[in-house]
Structure 1
Amino acid sequence: MVTRGFEVVSKYQGQGIVLPQRQTTNAAGYDFSAAEDFVLPSIWKLNFVKLFRKINNEHELMSRDFMKAESALRPLLVPTGIKAKMAPDEVLLLMNRSSSPLKRFLVLPNGVGVVDADYYNNESNEGEIFFQLVNLGPRDQLIKKGERIGQGIFMKNLVTDQDQPTTQVRQGGFGSSGK
């Protein structure tokens, strides 16, 4: 019985999705790849630049100005086609590859993504793992299917001695435990 591992979600079965792998003997992280071609637009081309111009020129900002800027700065979710099975006391941490910000200006705006053990096979999206990415570079970035976009590290999930166990069951997919 597998207690920790990766599987391809049903949506991507038969589409050549490669399971995450460590690249060297002592690598801590499993490299995840994009499940499909994905264009990540440069934030510098988007509406938030207009907001900064207005601020700089001391214009009064309207609610719609803020809404446009917030929409432009929102990270995009790059699909991996992968789900992760792990023990209930484990967590999968999603992190940048060290070369992504340096070479491609791609960053995870949340710093580290957290995939809980009960995310696996949730009814909303089958537990598919996505990487939140923002492109800080001046040009759009085309992420090709199969290109490595981030890494995942399994860790033990420790709880306090005073932890109050919950009977709450996950009701959805991405971002659902905070609702």
Structure 2
Amino acid sequence: MKTRGFEVVTKYKDKGINLPRRQTIASAGYDIEAAKDIVIPSIWRLNFVRIFRLIRNGHELYEKDYELAESILKPILVPTGLKVYMPEDEVLILANRSSNTFKKNLSLPNGIGVIDADYYNNPNNEGELFVQVLNYGVRPLHIKKGDRIAQGIFMKYLKTDDDNPITRPRVSGFGSTNERKES
């Protein structure tokens, strides 16, 4: 019986996706690779800089200015071609690799990614893992297929004494817990 691990999602079968591996005997994290070549633009080259200049110079901003900035300054989702399975009382934490910040100017804007056990094989996207990134360097960053972009750490989590049992199944994919409606 399988307990925890990684699998390749259907659309990346036969595309040479490597399952994550730890690199040393004491490594906590499983290195996760990019599933394809992708260019991560520098945030300083995006059109939101216009808004920054307006703010810095004390100009009034209008709703269309805010909407423009919000539509542009978003993380880039790097596909991994992977899904992950684990027991119900575990979570996979996606964390940045320490070399990404110093060598690549690459950050995870959400700090960490939290992958719940019920994300696996969800009907929306089969549970494919994506890594959210921002390039705060001044040059575009070219990530190649197979570049290690994050690390995954399996962890148990605890529930409070007064936690109510939840029977509502996951019905969507990426970011879906933000979309859930209480019944």
Give the TM-score normalised by structure 1: 0.97
Residue 178 of structure 1: how far off its partner (Å): 2.2
Residue 124 of structure 1: how far off its partner (Å): 0.5
1:70-120 Cα deviation digits (max 9, x unpaired): 222110110000000100110000000011011111100110100000000
Distance in structure 1 (CA, Å) of the matches to 2:6 and 2:119: 13
- What is the match of residue 105 of structure 1? 105
- What is the match of residue 92 of structure 1? 92
Distance in structure 2 (CA, Å) of the matches to 1:123 and 1:168: 14
Structure 1 runs of 4+ with >2 Å offset: none
User: What SS does structure 2 have at the residue aligned with 1:26?
Assistant: coil
- Please provide the CA RMSD for this pair: 0.8
Structure 2, unpaired ranges of 5+: none
Distance in structure 2 (CA, Å) of the matches to 1:57 and 1:157: 47
1:44-69 Cα deviation digits (max 9, x unpaired): 00111111111222222121211121
Distance in structure 1 (CA, Å) of the matches to 2:154 and 2:84: 10
User: What SS does structure 2 have at the residue aligned with 1:6?
Assistant: strand
AA in 2 matched with 1:55: I
- What is the match of residue 36 of structure 2? 36
User: What SS does structure 2 have at the residue aligned with 1:65?
Assistant: helix
Give the TM-score normalised by structure 2: 0.95
- What is the match of residue 4 of structure 1? 4
Aligned residues: 179
Residue 167 of structure 1: how far off its partner (Å): 0.7
Structure 1, unpaired ranges of 5+: none
